[in-house]
């Protein structure tokens, strides 16, 4: 209860707080007195005795109640006269809340639970490319070289004084800053204090060292998430990182190599050419003349970071205490910190980074559409845990180039990123703008180069499938399916109350769909809206999602500089489709059901416009933002897409096999309508051409009841009946995509116009009358012989004919 009252006091603007304290409204006077006494007493603005006196005024009626309200006004007015105390009240409230949370965490400071594999190594999403024995290694002081909460706690448990001192350093910066930020927010002064708060935060991060600098870099990934003042200050963490002494760097290289530098390098720059939170880079030349980048780890980085991660885990406990009191969020902030911490700790192993870099390079080289991105070569023979040597490449940050160059480059970047996420399950976990460069010279000039593979994460195929189905279920507004996906992805608990959860998720997410009217269609806006859900439902953020989010928002942030209307989800649709078709074609029941849910309507009929958009996406063509009506719009067909011949080639390829069962029936229906329309039109023209008109001989017709002779006109009405109004509408509208696949165009003014010779008409009628499979196939194929879709009919004839036989068989049964 006190936590909720505290939340109310913090979130209410000062003007509303004054109104509350005035107790002017007649009905909730009792409740308002209660809130006033709790808030003011907690802030130290009034004494406990005065607060008790205020609370004793509850429950009175008529004149007594009026007297009570008068007494309340007198007390509160005396408080309001002290304006300074009132302005400081929210800050004091925040300080008290933080102290209480710290006290609670101090009593229950236990590490998170770790899942270990058979080799005793931590199981996580962070990529560990080295052999299993490395997770047992320690340095010369016994400090674990591979991240383990338990082992790190055991190590630092032998030096509690150092941990206490570091925790105190952190609280010395954090407590007053958070309290000041809360105070500014509650009093409506946050806008004026933004620059000061940002400057103080960045100064504190730089003072606290590399771990907190890295954290600041994570926070600085989007210009549209944080205010300009914050972005300006946080940019210092990318561009103004202090270097360490070059003599120290050379000594680290000597110690790692066990030899003098001139035994490896013919040249090494006197000063670093770049500095980062964990290392700095020198330009060098190997003895064979190859130019290289030499990355050297900062001295004492491992012990410093391991202590800081202890501090961060403890701070996460404080955040959890505060959030649990203020919201319904159930995020495990310790788990988030441990994911960040493990990634950061793993970045200190440069041999693991080199192996990540080699694997990413191989994946990119094996993927045809990723040729616009390169990864520097690694020299493993010169790489150790603290020194990494790789190919030197001259480049410029993509984010600093003109908008047109960014737009061109982002296409290559998104190709690699989306393959990392959906195809490879092996993705770059720290893609800040400094790690994505435009190559300025050399054989790879004009390409993008991806740098820094210290933090790479791996996503299991099961989770990748769940991500795809979540996108499909959201776009089709299958809310039950989406809840299942969110449970599988661990955003929601298995036993969540769907009755409570579903309306909230619908309200927040529906605005990003077609007709939803969201003001902005990007991940920043979506992320802000998702945060609002945490105050209403137990919505958690899985640790690996924080890694994905960093990658997504970084890429989108760079792209938005080149194209303010850029929408990553829309651009990602071809990759989602590719994954959907690939996995459903491999027999995944989950993805097959998602594909059916995407394409079929409530009556089980294929939605032709949606199929057209899917086929365009399957061949790599995404609808432009101007063609889409929402964050996710599965009915957006590109205004300039692939032609029908390309779509047919896709359907006949192995990748198209999962679509075939869904569209064969619709394709057969379309063929039937085309054949009926063409043969009736051709037969009429044939009769009109007879001069003089002559009776046509009867045609033998094989029916279920035996052989019968039928006049051609009667046979035509039996086998190729006139199209009904609904069928004409279908042929003019819904069948457009299928007609396109058959190479048949429909003039919007003239309708379907097929010129068919009398011989073709009689061949079709004769084949259908004889019911011989080969004759029917040849007749229909010949009817379409001038059409690009003939190959589709020929290749799929067995399945198409089965459907056609069912239709024709029903007609013959009535003869």
End-to-end CA distance of the chain: 80
Q: Where are the beta strands (DSSP E) in 600-750?
A: 699-703, 706-710, 746-747
Element containing residue 707 per DSSP (H, E):
strand 706-710
3-state SS of 351-413 is HHHHHHHHHHHHHHHCCHHHCCEECCCECHHHCCCCEEEEECCCEEEHHHCCHHHHHHHHHHH
Nearest in space to 780 (alpha carbons), one of 799, 792, 764:
764
What pLDDT, on the 0 to 100 scale, is given for residue 98? 65
Give φ, ψ of 598 to 5 degrees: -75, -40
Nearest in space to 573 (alpha carbons), one of 637, 514, 644, 519:
637
Residues in the chain, pLDDT under 50: 1-65, 79-80, 82-83, 86, 222-225, 517-519, 787
Distance CA 135, CA 757 (A): 78
Would you state the structure tokens that stand for residue 487, as one six-digit string?
């449970």
Contact by Cβ (8 Å): 667, 642: no
* Selected catalytic residue, list 308, 349, 412, 430: 430
CB within 8 Å of 627: residues ≥ 6 apart = 633, 636, 637, 638, 639
Grouping H, G, I as helix, E, B as strand and the rest as coil, residue 428 is strand
Element containing residue 295 per DSSP (H, E):
strand 291-297
> How far is C-alpha 20 from the geometric centre of its chain's CA atoms?
42
What pLDDT, on the 0 to 100 scale, is given for residue 276? 84
Task: Give the burial class of 227: count Cβ atoms within 10 A of its Cβ; 0-12 exposed, 13-18 middle, 19 or more buried.
Answer: middle
- Helix ranges (H only) for 44-131 are 48-55, 62-80, 83-107
Contact by Cβ (8 Å): 419, 370: yes
Length of the chain: 815
Tokens 């480049």 appear where?
395
Element containing residue 427 per DSSP (H, E):
strand 426-428
Give me Rg for the CA atoms of the chain.
Answer: 35
Distance CA 128, CA 116 (A): 14
* Tens-digit pLDDT profile for residues 373-383: 999 999 999 99
- Is residue 495 annotated as part of the catalytic site, yes or no? no
Nearest in space to 434 (alpha carbons), one of 401, 397, 408:
397
What pLDDT, on the 0 to 100 scale, is given for residue 767? 72
Contact by Cβ (8 Å): 396, 440: yes
What pLDDT, on the 0 to 100 scale, is given for residue 109? 56
What pLDDT, on the 0 to 100 scale, is given for residue 285? 97
What pLDDT, on the 0 to 100 scale, is given for residue 507? 86
C-alpha pair distances (Å), 229 with each of 202, 237, 420, 599: 11, 14, 33, 47
Angle of helix 758-770 relative to helix 773-783, nearest 10 degrees, comes to 160
What pLDDT, on the 0 to 100 scale, is given for residue 457? 87
> Between the CA atoms of 207, 208, 211 and 214, what dihedral angle is there, to the nearest 10 degrees?
-40
Would you state the structure tokens that stand for residue 95, as one six-digit string?
């300080």
Nearest in space to 215 (alpha carbons), one of 278, 283, 265:
278
């Amino acid at each position: 209860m006190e936590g909720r009252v505290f939340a109310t006091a913090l979130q209410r603007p000062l003007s509303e707080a004054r109104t509350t304290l005035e107790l002017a409204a007649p009905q909730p006077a009792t409740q308002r007195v209660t809130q006033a006494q709790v808030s003011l007493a907690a802030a130290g603005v009034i004494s406990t005795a005065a607060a008790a006196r205020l609370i004793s005024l509850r429950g009175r009626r008529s004149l007594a109640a009026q007297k009570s309200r008068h007494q309340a006004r007198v007390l509160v007015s005396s408080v309001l006269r002290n304006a300074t105390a009132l302005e400081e009240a929210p800050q004091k409230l925040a300080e008290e809340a933080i102290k209480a949370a710290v006290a609670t965490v101090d009593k229950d400071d236990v590490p998170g639970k770790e899942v270990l594999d058979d080799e005793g190594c931590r199981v996580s999403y962070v990529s560990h490319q080295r052999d299993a024995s490395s997770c047992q290694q320690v340095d010369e002081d016994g400090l674990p070289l591979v991240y383990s909460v338990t082992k790190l706690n055991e190590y630092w448990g032998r030096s509690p004084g150092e941990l206490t001192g570091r925790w105190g350093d952190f609280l010395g910066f954090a407590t007053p800053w958070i309290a000041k930020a809360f105070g500014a927010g509650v009093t409506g002064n946050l806008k004026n204090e933004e620059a000061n708060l940002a400057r103080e935060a960045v100064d504190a991060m730089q003072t606290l060292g590399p771990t907190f600098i890295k954290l600041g870099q994570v926070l600085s990934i989007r210009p549209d998430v944080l205010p300009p003042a914050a972005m300006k200050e946080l940019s210092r963490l990318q561009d103004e990182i202090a270097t360490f002494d070059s003599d120290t760097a050379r000594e680290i290289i000597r110690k790692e190599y066990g030899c003098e530098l001139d035994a490896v390098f013919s040249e090494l720059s006197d000063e670093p050419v770049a500095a980062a939170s964990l290392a700095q880079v020198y330009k060098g030349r190997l003895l064979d003349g190859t130019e290289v980048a030499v990355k050297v780890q900062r001295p004492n980085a491992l012990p410093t970071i391991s202590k800081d991660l202890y501090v961060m885990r403890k701070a996460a406990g404080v955040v959890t205490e505060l959030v649990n009191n203020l919201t319904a969020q159930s995020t495990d902030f310790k788990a988030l910190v441990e994911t960040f911490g493990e990634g950061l700790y793993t970045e200190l192993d440069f041999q693991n980074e080199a192996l990540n870099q080699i694997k990413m390079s191989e994946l990119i080289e094996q993927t045809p559409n990723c040729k616009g991105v390169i990864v520097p070569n690694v020299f493993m023979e010169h790489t150790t845990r603290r020194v990494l040597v790789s190919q030197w490449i001259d480049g410029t940050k993509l984010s600093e180039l003109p908008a047109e160059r960014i737009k061109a480059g982002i296409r290559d970047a998104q190709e690699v990123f989306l393959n990392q996420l959906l195809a490879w399950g092996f993705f770059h976990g720290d893609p800040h703008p400094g790690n994505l460069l435009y190559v300025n010279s050399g054989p790879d000039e004009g390409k993008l180069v991806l740098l820094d593979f210290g933090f790479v994460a791996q996503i299991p195929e099961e989770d990748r499938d769940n991500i795809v189905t979540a996108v499909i279920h959201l776009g089709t507004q299958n809310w039950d399916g989406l809840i299942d996906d969110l449970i599988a992805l661990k955003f929601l608990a298995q036993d969540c109350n769907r009755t409570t959860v579903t309306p909230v998720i619908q309200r927040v997410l529906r605005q990003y769909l077609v007709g939803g009217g969201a003001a902005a269609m990007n991940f920043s806006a979506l992320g802000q809206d998702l945060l609002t859900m945490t105050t209403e439902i137990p919505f958690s953020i899985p640790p690996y999602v924080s890694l994905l989010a960093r990658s997504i928002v970084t890429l989108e942030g760079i792209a938005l500089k080149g194209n303010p209307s850029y929408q990553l989800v829309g651009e990602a649709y071809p990759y989602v489709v590719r994954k959907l078709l690939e996995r459903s074609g491999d027999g995944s029941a989950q993805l097959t059901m998602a594909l059916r849910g995407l394409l079929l309507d409530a009556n089980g009929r294929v939605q032709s416009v949606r199929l057209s958009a899917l086929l365009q996406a399957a061949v790599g063509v995404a609808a432009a933002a101007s063609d889409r009506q929402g964050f996710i719009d599965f009915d957006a067909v590109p205004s300039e897409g692939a032609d029908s011949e390309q779509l047919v080639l896709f359907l006949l390829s192995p990748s198209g096999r999962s679509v075939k069962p869904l569209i064969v029936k619709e394709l057969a229906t379309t063929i039937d309508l085309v054949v009926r329309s063409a043969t009736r039109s051709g037969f009429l023209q044939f009769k009109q051409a007879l001069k003089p008109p002559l009776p046509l001989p009867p045609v033998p017709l094989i029916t279920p009841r035996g052989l019968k002779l039928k006049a051609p006109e009667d046979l035509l009405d039996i086998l190729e009946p006139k199209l009904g109004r609904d069928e004409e509408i279908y042929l003019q509208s819904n069948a457009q995509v299928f007609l396109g696949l058959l190479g048949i165009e429909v003039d919007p003014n003239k309708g379907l116009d097929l010129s068919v010779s009398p011989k073709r008409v009689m061949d079709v009628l004769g084949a259908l009358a004889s019911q011989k499979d080969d004759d029917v196939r040849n007749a229909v194929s010949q009817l379409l012989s001038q059409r690009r879709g003939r190959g589709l009919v020929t290749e799929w004839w067995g399945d198409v004919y089965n459907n056609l036989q069912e239709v024709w068989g029903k007609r013959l049964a009535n003869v």
